[in-house]
Amino acid sequence: MSANIIIGTQWGDEGKGKVVDSLGAKTDYVVRFGGGNNAGHTVHVGSEKFVLHLLPSGVLHSQSKCILGSGVVIDPKVFLEEIEALESRGFNTDHVFMSNRAHLIMPYHIILDGLWETLKGDNKIGTTNRGIGPCYSDKFERIGIRVEDLLYPEVFARRLKDTLNIKNALLTKIFNKEALSFEEIYDSYIKMGEKLKKRIINSELELEKALKEDKKILLEGAQAMMLDIDYGHYPYVTSSSPTANGACVGSGIALKHIDKIIGVCKAYSTRVGEGPFPTELHDKSGEWLREKGSEFGATTGRPRRCGWLDIVVVKHAVSISGITDIALTKIDILSELKEIPICVAYEIDGERVEYIPSSIEANQKAKPILEMMPGWDEDLSQCKSFKEMPLNAQKYILKIEELINCNLSYISTGVDRDQYITR
C-alpha cells in the first residue's frame, strides 16, 4: 500500500517529465495533483518528442492509469486537443481519467488572466496566461465550476449563469470589454462534456480501492517549490501548492500512504516569469546554459532565465516537502566548464542567510555566496553507473548531497527515457 510523490525543487522545468516517464513504467497509477496547462513536460521516446501541458507525463505508459486529480484545473479544450494529438500519433488514451471534483478553466479565466497582468503593469507576475490564477481564485471564492457539473446540463447552466453575471460585470464595467455570451460557452462546454463523460470518475474512491489492492501510485507534481503559493517567492508564484503537502490534498490520498518523496533538481537553475532569482546570470555563461540546455519554455516558448545551482532553494524544498530522495537532472549540460559555482548561502544587508526569507524585498536583495567546484570535459551521456562518471562530476554530486543532506538516488544524463543512473 504505497504512493510515491515526484515534485520540483526549484522554479519548475527541472525535467520532472523525464523522471516520471522513466519511473512511470513501474507504477499502476500516475496522478497529477495540481496546476493546469501552465506546465510543460517534455518527454523523449526514441526519436519522438512529446510536449505535454495538462496530461500527466506517465500518459505514455498505457499500463498505468492516468488521473487528473481534484487539485488540477482543467481546460477541457486543451485536454481534448492533447488527447487527439496523442491518438493521432498512435497512442491509446483509454487509460486517461479526471476527477469529478477538479475545477474547469472557463474562457473568462483566460481573458481575465491577461487583463489583470496588464493592469498590474511593472508588478506583473509573468503568468502563462492560461487562466490558472483566476480559476483557482473562483475555486476559493466558491463560484467555480467543476468537471462534475458538465454531467448535469441544468446544474451547469445555473452555475454558469451566476458566475458569468459577475465576470461580465467585471469585463464590461472595469475593463470596458464586451460581455461574453452565455449560449456560446454553454454549447461548447456541454459538447465537450459529452466527449469527456467516459473519463470523469470519483478518483479518491478509485485510488482508495487501488491502495487496498496494493497497487503502486505515483503522484506527479507540476510547477515547483519556489512557485508554491505559501512557501515560494510570493507573489511571484503560481496559485496552487506544488509541494508534497499539496499532493495529498490534490489527489485525495491520505498522508499515511506516502512512501517516497522524490524531489527533482536540475544541476543548475532556471526560472520563467518575473521574481527574484539570486544566482541569475546576465552574462555569456547564462546564454551558454540556455543554449546548451535548450532552456526555452515548453509552454510559452519564452527564453528561461538561467543561473547556477542554488542550494538554499533546494534545502528549502527538502525541508518543506520532506523529500526522501533527489533526482538530479541535466548534469550532462555542465560538461566543458572549468569550474562550477554552487550557491551555498545568501548575503542580505551584509548578513549571511541560509534560508528563504518570507519577504520578497529581502529575496530581491539576496546576493549569492558561491563555492567553486572543479569541472570536467567528458560527455556524461553514455555513463551507466556512478563509478563511470568523471571524478569531478562525482564530487559535484557528493557535494550537493552533503549540502542538502539528502540522497541523490537518481541521476539523469540525457534526454532519453533510459539515460539515467540509479544509486
Instruction: Report the catalytic residues.
Output: 13, 41
Which value, in Å, is the radius of gyration of the alpha carbons in the chain? 22
- Under rule CB under 6 A, residue 74 binds ligand IMP: no
Give the residue with the Cβ less far from ligand IMP, 239 or 245.
239
Helix (H, G, I), strand (E, B) or coil at 106: coil
Kindly give, in sequence order, each residue whose CB lies less than 8 Å from that of residue 18, ignoring residues fewer than 6 positions away. Answer: 42, 43, 44, 57, 329, 412, 415, 417
Q: Least distance to ligand IMP from the beta carbon of 281, Å?
A: 18
Selected binder of ligand IMP within 71, 273, 286, 293 (CB under 6 A): 273
Please tell me the distance from the alpha carbon of residue 245 to that of residue 412, in angstroms, as a whole number.
Answer: 25
Residue 71's nearest CA partner among 193, 222, 206, 212 is 222
Q: Least distance to ligand IMP from the beta carbon of 107, Å?
A: 16
Selected binder of ligand IMP within 20, 30, 73, 125 (CB under 6 A): 125
Burial of 29 (0-12, 13-18, 19+ CB in 10 A): buried
Selected binder of ligand IMP within 28, 78, 101, 126 (CB under 6 A): 126
List 149's β-bridge partners, or say none. Answer: none
Residue 222's nearest CA partner among 14, 4, 1 is 14
Q: Least distance to ligand IMP from the beta carbon of 185, Å?
A: 21
Please tell me the distance from the alpha carbon of residue 275 to that of residue 249, in angstroms, as a whole number.
Answer: 27
Please tell me the distance from the alpha carbon of residue 145 to that of residue 181, in angstroms, as a whole number.
Answer: 17
Residue 63's nearest CA partner among 218, 179, 204 is 218
Q: Least distance to ligand IMP from the beta carbon of 209, Å?
A: 31
- Under rule CB under 6 A, residue 128 binds ligand IMP: yes
Cell of 194: 459529452
Over the window 84 to 123, marking each residue x when it contacts ligand IMP by CB under 6 A and - when it does not, the resulting string is ----------------------------------------
State the greatest distance between any 2 C-alpha atoms of the chain, in Å, as a whole number: 66
Q: Least distance to ligand IMP from the beta carbon of 229, Å?
A: 10
Closest-by-Cβ residue to ligand IMP is: 273
User: Which residues ranging from 190 to 249 are in contact with ligand IMP (CB under 6 A)?
Assistant: 222-223, 227, 238-239
Please tell me the distance from the alpha carbon of residue 278 to that of residue 190, in angstroms, as a whole number.
Answer: 47
Please tell me the distance from the alpha carbon of residue 295 to that of residue 254, in angstroms, as a whole number.
Answer: 36
Q: Least distance to ligand IMP from the beta carbon of 123, Å?
A: 13
List 6's β-bridge partners, or say none. Answer: 220, 262
- The enclosing H or E element of 312 equals helix 311-321
Site size with ligand IMP, rule: CB under 6 A: 20
Only one of the segments 124-132, 147-155, 164-172, 359-367 lies at the binding site for ligand IMP (rule: CB under 6 A); that segment is 124-132
- Under rule CB under 6 A, residue 265 binds ligand IMP: no
Cell of 271: 526560472
Are 73 and 35 spatial neighbours (Cβ–Cβ below 8 Å)?
yes
Q: Least distance to ligand IMP from the beta carbon of 182, Å?
A: 26
Give the residue with the Cβ less far from ligand IMP, 186 or 234.
234
Give the residue with the Cβ less far from ligand IMP, 129 or 285.
129
Q: Least distance to ligand IMP from the beta carbon of 61, Å?
A: 21
Over the window 6 to 45, marking each residue x when it contacts ligand IMP by CB under 6 A and - when it does not, the resulting string is -----xxx------------------------xxx-----
Peptide bond into 303 cis (omega under 30): no
Q: What are phi and psi of 380, to 5 degrees?
A: -95, -5
Over the window 382 to 411, marking each residue x when it contacts ligand IMP by CB under 6 A and - when it does not, the resulting string is ------------------------------
Give the residue with the Cβ less far from ligand IMP, 19 or 397.
19
**Residues found near ligand IMP in the complex (CB under 6 A):** 11-13, 38-40, 125-128, 130, 132-133, 222-223, 227, 238-239, 272-273
